[in-house]
Amino acid sequence: MKVYIIIIFFLIFFSGIGQIERSPTILVLNSQKTIVDKKYDSIAKLMVRKGLTEEHKKRIRESNAEFPLISEKEILFLEEVDISTQIPYGVYYILSYKFFEYYQNLLIFPAKENNDSSLEQLNIISEKYDTNWVVNIPLTEFYFENGVNKGIVKYQLYNKKSKEILIEKELNINDHNFGGEMACLEGTISCVIMNSIWTISLEVYNFMLKNKMYWR
């Protein structure tokens, strides 16, 4: 009888290995609508790429060796990229870097899911991917005004635990180089993209750290 109990114990124990409850779990979605001024047509064309080389896929898998799911989601997201994928991928990258320093149990990945940015659809998407947080970007717009490269970026932070959109903002971004981690080439569209990435990432990161009651 004792042997039987011991066997059952080890079966239960080892079956739990690998079934780690990840937290926080974050999904970063593609831009739902992207408007690009004709001035940037040539730059936008340079950002278009379809397909990844096997070498590139190998590097992604090696960099996420302990997280095969993240690797495959990242590869899928990068199979087809253009100017509209720059900000969401950058947000995914910065949030990964920021959170993983303190939360090795993190699960975060990018995905392409078209939606109408409604509460209902964001809930459906969070259920589909089993993530507690969804960063959604309803609009990205790049334009040129008074000699300055500018951008308008709308973003949302949805939380499945509360079933609420906890952040919904419209950002007005310029091409100024703020230096430090946010350093970019002043006066370029790349600086608008970089400033958008860092602004969204830091706002989401700081909000989540201050509101752990929403973590699952």
CA atoms within 13 A on the CB side of 204: 32
The total number of structural domains in the chain stands at: 1
d(C-alpha 26, C-alpha 132), whole Å:
6
Residue 180 counted as domain residue: yes
Residue 54 counted as domain residue: no
Residue 171 counted as domain residue: yes
Residue 2 counted as domain residue: no
The CATH number of the domain holding residue 138 is 3.40.50
Token pair for residue 215? 């973590």
Residue 195 counted as domain residue: yes
The list of the chain residues with pLDDT below 70 reads 1-21
> Which structural domain range is residue 127 located in?
23-47+82-214
Q: What stretches of the chain show up as alpha helix (H) in DSSP? A: 2-16, 41-46, 54-63, 68-78, 86-100, 119-129, 189-210
pLDDT recorded at residue 98: 95
Helices 86-100 and 68-78 cross at an angle (nearest 10°) of 160
pLDDT recorded at residue 63: 87
Residue 13 counted as domain residue: no
d(C-alpha 125, C-alpha 114), whole Å:
10
pLDDT recorded at residue 20: 60
Q: What CA dihedral angle connects 112, 114, 117 and 122, to 10 degrees?
A: -60
Residue 116 counted as domain residue: yes
Residue 71 counted as domain residue: no
Taking only the tens place, the pLDDT of each residue in 32-82 is 999 999 999 999 999 999 998 999 999 999 988 788 889 899 999 999 999
